[in-house]
Amino acid sequence: MCDCNSTEKSIYLPELAPITKVAMMNETEMYMHLDHDIGHKPGQFVEVSIAGIGEAPISISSSPTEAGFDMVIRKAGRVTDIMHQMQAGDKLGIRGPFGSGYPIDEMKGKDLVFVCGGIGLVPQRSMINYIMDNRADFGKIAILQGTKEFAQRIYHDELERWAGVDGVQVLETIDVAHDSWNGNVGVVTTLIDKIDGIDLTKAVNLICGPPIMYKFVLMVLQEKEVSHENIFVNLERRMKCGVGKCGHCQMNGQYVCQSGPVYRYSDLANIPEAI
Ligand SMILES: Cc1cc2nc3c(=O)[nH]c(=O)nc-3n(C[C@H](O)[C@H](O)[C@H](O)COP(=O)(O)OP(=O)(O)OC[C@H]3O[C@@H](n4cnc5c(N)ncnc54)[C@H](O)[C@@H]3O)c2cc1C
Ligand code: FES
């Protein structure tokens, strides 16, 4: 029976939230800020909807320590194409936050290594900026960012800002050399040996990027004898409801929208299709 007096938020009902800022980050990625506090944890996502068009799961890119929240949208189809035409003042339907998020308390006091590929930096930025706002709670930080081409780099101002913070090392690479780039050229795994002053076997390693990247990063971490318990991966699966009802994201009997998208690698040991 309907509890018509209930003030509890429905997990199925989007709330309309105003976009307050948009900016193109490169040719394909659009940054958006929404003035809507959702009470998220780093690593979670929202379902974003446009009435009459559809809904898409999108990572939350900002820290819960900031007001409202940020997203980065890659143009991929019906919903995201229309989002790219939106401007400040337009409204989006938002459900969530959903997903498990990172176990922050467990990471306190430890050194952390972020390995990001392309727009894998988008969800990781939520955790990174949480750390920046609670710097004393965490050990040394290494942020490794790999991008295919110079023109596709995102959040470069922020990478520069993080590099200036005490105890934070930022290493960036692009796959293809470019006249305006005098940094590292090669895939993101080429940066792992350049990490300074962090024992990878004792650090928490957080990986997020395109599917192909995981295989190679995990191979290097394996060679360095990093325990699977100390590795977190961020899985992307087809999602619809976001709340464990439709079965679209099912993986070996579990729903990625609920138990993920962030997983401890050791929890995926018996799920060969996971990565
Ligand atoms: C947990 C999670 C977090 C995500 N975070 C972001 C983010 O921060 N920014 C962002 O731009 N995108 C993100 N995505 C991907 C995004 O949800 C899809 O690109 C989006 O749903 C496409 O919707 P659409 O209506 O624009 O395209 P559609 O018209 O539905 O599809 C366009 C094309 O994209 C394919 N597609 C749809 N969904 C996915 C998917 N999940 N994975 C791979 N291919 C897909 C379709 O098969 C089709 O080929 C995330 C996905 C998940 C599951
Ligand atoms: S998206 Fe529906 S069960 Fe996960």
How far apart (Å, rounded) are the C-alpha atoms in residues 141 and 204? 10
**d(CA 230, ligand 2 centre) in Å:** 27
User: pLDDT tens-digit profile of 1-49?
Assistant: 445 455 567 888 999 999 999 999 999 999 999 999 999 999 999 999 9
Q: Which ligand has an atom closest to residue 56 CA? A: 1
**d(CA 76, ligand 1 centre) in Å:** 7
29-34 vs 15-24, strand pairing mode: antiparallel
How far apart (Å, rounded) are the C-alpha atoms in residues 40 and 183? 35
124, 142 contact by CB (below 8 A)? no
184-185 vs 204-208, strand pairing mode: unpaired
CATH homologous superfamily of domain 15-98? Translation factors (2.40.30.10)
At residue 6, the pLDDT reads 55
**d(CA 58, ligand 2 centre) in Å:** 14
Task: Please provide the CATH number assigned to the domain covering 104-234.
Answer: 3.40.50.80
Pocket of ligand 1 (CB under 6 A): 45, 54, 56-59, 71-74, 76-80, 122, 236-239, 261
241, 50 contact by CB (below 8 A)? no
Given the CA of residue 260, which atom of ligand 1 is nearest to it? Answer: 1
Q: Using a 6 Å cutoff on CB, does residue 232 contact ligand 2?
A: no
User: How do the pLDDT tens digits run along the chain, 275 residues long?
Assistant: 445 455 567 888 999 999 999 999 999 999 999 999 999 999 999 999 999 999 999 999 999 999 999 999 999 999 999 999 999 999 999 999 999 999 999 999 999 999 999 999 999 999 999 999 999 999 999 999 999 999 999 999 999 999 999 999 999 999 999 999 999 999 999 999 999 999 999 999 999 999 999 999 999 999 999 999 999 999 988 999 999 999 999 998 899 999 999 999 999 988 878 88
**d(CA 141, ligand 1 centre) in Å:** 30
Question: Mutate which of 26, 29, 59 to test ligand 1's pocket (most atoms within 8 Å of Cβ)?
Answer: 59
Domain range list for the chain: 15-98, 104-234
Given the CA of residue 255, which atom of ligand 2 is nearest to it? Answer: 4
The residues, ordered by sequence, that sit 6+ positions from 86 with a Cβ below 8 Å of its Cβ are: 19, 22, 32, 92
**d(CA 210, ligand 2 centre) in Å:** 21
Strand partners for 145: 116, 172
Q: What CA–CA distances, in Å, run from 124 to 62, 129, 213, 233?
A: 9, 9, 15, 11
**d(CA 210, ligand 1 centre) in Å:** 13
